[in-house]
Amino acid sequence: MCGIVGYVGPQDAPPLLIEGLARLEYRGYDSAGLAVLTDRDKLRVVKRAGRVRDLVEHLPPGFGGHTGIGHTRWATHGPATDVNAHPHTDATGRVAVVHNGILDNAYELRARLAADGVELVSDTDTEVIAHLVGRSQAATLQEKVAEALGQVHGTWGLAVLHADHPGEIVAARNGSPLILGVGNGEMYVASDLAAIVRHTTTVVLLDDGELASVTERGFSTTGGKAAAEIDVDPAAYETGEHESFMLKEILEQPETAARVLQGRLDDRFGTTHLGGLEMTPHESRAFRRVKVLGCGSAYYVGEMGAGLIEELARIPAHAEPASEFRYRNPIVERDTLYVAVSQSGETLDTLLAVEEIKRKGGRVIGLVNVVGSAIARACDGGIYLHAGPEVAVASTKAVTNMFLGFALLALHLGRVRDLSVADGKRLVAGLEALPDQIAEILERQDELAEVADELAKAESLFFIGRVRGYPVAREGAQKFKEISYRHAEAYPASELKHGPLALISPTMPTVVIVPDDDLASRNVGALEEIAARGGPLVVITQPGVDLGGVQVTRIDVPASEVELAPILLTIPLQLLAYRAALALGHDIDKPRNLAKSVTVE
């Protein structure tokens, strides 16, 4: 995986491909490359390890053509080298392929091709597709690609050029997102709308198992798809006046939080309007437990959500990594509501978990940000997060809206059970106050920057919290390690004395999450234990919490309804991670080794 862009039309393809690849850099990658068909139907390929700018510097004079494909690679097979970069070609040099995903039977296919005398030059799985397409005797390029894909197992989003079929790109999807962009006498292929949004917002979303043939005259798909207009502002994919996408998205949170709540709160009855769930009150009441599935930050906010559902609806709720779920042959129960959480809606581990639940007759809803994404389409209903495009690899505004989505769901489930109207109204008022409270926290960036500068000096950090504070600590550690590259570990505060306390020292800071709840005094006990061993302390808490005489760096967030405190306590952690990474000179939007949308297992 990571980024794919293709173009066919009257314009010179390389500049458009380079522009598209540059807009996909946020996804994380280690190399980049282009393949174009010249006006003489000759295939030319240039690829380089490193950044898109390194590729641009090595483009030869006269490198041009009206049909081309480009790729940024996130390694699944082989180190970052020029040879392993995409596109990959067949033995004749007349076929070029770019590919996101993983082929599960690549080793067997490589062995079979080698036995047939094919010389494989790269370490990648993708190269075998190019050889299989090149060896096909089918009449059309689409038939050649279909024949090749009939021999492979795994996941793919791919685009293929063939010198014998000029003016055409064949695209295919199976488990990795791919879209077609419809222009005026020109067509685009991309793995992400960001690559082409400046040129068109009329798109075709390919389904798994679907192939498409694209020429400047239009497109055809094996699923008979029609194009549709996507409602998106191209400016959402620009940093504007901000120094990074992550900072821009952090600062957008008051607006995006208000957007996900808009029209969904019912003050009269202290409940929520969630038509997207497609469940009657009777169906909502029938569930005996809730299982939340997500990966990374979506999993951690899923833990926050599970705790909220259990607290308000008083039914057992539990979060689990989607990446582990289907591998343990899970018991899927008819009276369990499964909730899949994903920013992109294309996270493969989560999508496969959804498919496993559906296969076994379970009811699954989605909390997804991207409308029309694979997970959104696979679920029985759900709540769109309406955070807008999130470009930075480290998720911020989508995490906030995920929590708010869970709050809406928990309030809905609680009110069809035993949550009183008074408590419902109290929580509705608390939710309505959150956007302004988030804005209040964001106004204190400079204060938080000073704390972050000190934390950045530490090689390792602890993040701890108790009950509703623990998943907040996990998300804080996640953000810190993602972009600052410091070792950050999260523990329940109660577990410190069962081992981790051995690591406390004057060089090991601990960030402690202390909501204003009935466990505050127990959290202060943990502060005392750390302070007694000389450990520096940063405490994220709320006004009115008495931290005793412990010497700490204190950061207060606004008072809130206690059930909603986790999201307010999370906001300073985003800024601390951001400012620490900035102090260390890291590339904020392109953290090493990571990708925005993980579409491989």
pLDDT in tens, 408-421: 999 999 999 999 99
Q: Which of 210, 236, 262 is the last residue of a domain?
A: 236
Q: Determine the pLDDT at residue 165.
A: 96
Q: Picking from 128-132, 334-338, 374-378, which range would have the lowest pLDDT averaged per residue?
A: 374-378
Mean pLDDT for 467-490 is 95
Q: Determine the pLDDT at residue 592.
A: 77
Judge contact between 82 and 31, C-beta under 8 A. yes
Q: Determine the pLDDT at residue 16.
A: 96
Question: What CA–CA distance (Å, rounded) separates 317 from 290?
Answer: 5
362 plus 457 within the same structural domain: no
43 plus 192 within the same structural domain: yes
Side-chain half-sphere exposure of 380, counting CA atoms within 13 A:
15
**10 Å Cβ neighbour count for 152?**
20
pLDDT single digits (tens) 37-90: 998 889 999 999 988 999 999 999 989 999 999 999 877 788 889 999 999 999
CB within 8 A of 500, min separation 6: which ones? Answer: 462, 489, 491
- Of 596, 598, 565, nearest to 194 by C-alpha is 596
Structure tokens at 99: 């590919």
Judge contact between 455 and 511, C-beta under 8 A. yes
Is residue 27's pLDDT more than 80? Answer: no
Task: Let me know how many helices (H) and strands (E) the chain has, helices first.
Answer: 18, 26
Is residue 599's pLDDT more than 60? Answer: no
Is residue 587's pLDDT more than 90? Answer: no
228 plus 244 within the same structural domain: no
Structure tokens at 250: 């952090």
Q: Which of 236, 266, 287 is the last residue of a domain?
A: 236
Mean pLDDT for 243-248 is 93
151 plus 272 within the same structural domain: no
To which H or E segment does residue 476 belong?
Answer: helix 470-484
133 plus 14 within the same structural domain: yes
Q: What is the mean pLDDT of the chain?
A: 93
Is residue 434's pLDDT more than 70? Answer: yes
427 plus 469 within the same structural domain: no
Judge contact between 430 and 560, C-beta under 8 A. yes
Mean pLDDT for 375-401 is 93
What domain count does the chain have?
3
- Choose, from 2, 295, 379, 397, the residue flagged as catalytic: 2
Catalytic residue status for 596: yes
Q: Assign 158 a pLDDT band (cuts: 50, 70, 90).
A: very high
Q: Determine the pLDDT at residue 516.
A: 94
51 plus 88 within the same structural domain: yes
Q: Determine the pLDDT at residue 1.
A: 55
Q: Determine the pLDDT at residue 598.
A: 63
- Of 199, 197, 160, 203, nearest to 179 by C-alpha is 203
357 plus 435 within the same structural domain: yes
Is residue 311's pLDDT more than 80? Answer: yes
Q: Determine the pLDDT at residue 596.
A: 62
Question: What CA–CA distance (Å, rounded) separates 185 from 165?
Answer: 19
Question: What CA–CA distance (Å, rounded) separates 501 from 33?
Answer: 49
- Choose, from 47, 248, 397, 596, the residue flagged as catalytic: 596
Is residue 546's pLDDT more than 70? Answer: yes
421 plus 467 within the same structural domain: no
For residues 239 and 585, which has the higher predicted lDDT (pLDDT)? Answer: 585
Mean pLDDT for 266-283 is 92
Share of the chain above pLDDT 90, in %: 78
Q: Assign 601 a pLDDT band (cuts: 50, 70, 90).
A: low
Report the alpha-carbon angle 346-350-356, nearest 5.
Answer: 120
273 plus 262 within the same structural domain: yes
16 plus 122 within the same structural domain: yes
**10 Å Cβ neighbour count for 481?**
18
226 plus 130 within the same structural domain: yes
Q: Picking from 183-187, 200-204, 523-527, which range would have the lowest pLDDT averaged per residue?
A: 523-527
Q: Assign 600 a pLDDT band (cuts: 50, 70, 90).
A: low
Judge contact between 181 and 196, C-beta under 8 A. yes
- Domain with 347, as residue range(s), is 239-443
Is residue 112's pLDDT more than 90? Answer: yes
Assign residue 59 the CATH number of its domain: 3.60.20.10
Q: Assign 94 a pLDDT band (cuts: 50, 70, 90).
A: very high
Q: Determine the pLDDT at residue 299.
A: 97
Assign residue 539 the CATH number of its domain: 3.40.50.10490
Q: Determine the pLDDT at residue 237.
A: 84
* Residue 282, phi then psi, degrees to nearest 5: -65, -45
Judge contact between 295 and 349, C-beta under 8 A. yes
Mean pLDDT for 294-298 is 95
Q: Determine the pLDDT at residue 579.
A: 96
Do you find a cis peptide bond into 330, omega within 30 degrees of 0?
no
- Of 439, 443, 511, nearest to 480 by C-alpha is 511
For residues 497 and 219, which has the higher predicted lDDT (pLDDT)? Answer: 219
Q: Which of 192, 207, 236 is the last residue of a domain?
A: 236
- Identify any residues that bridge with 383 across adjacent strands, giving them in sequence order: 367
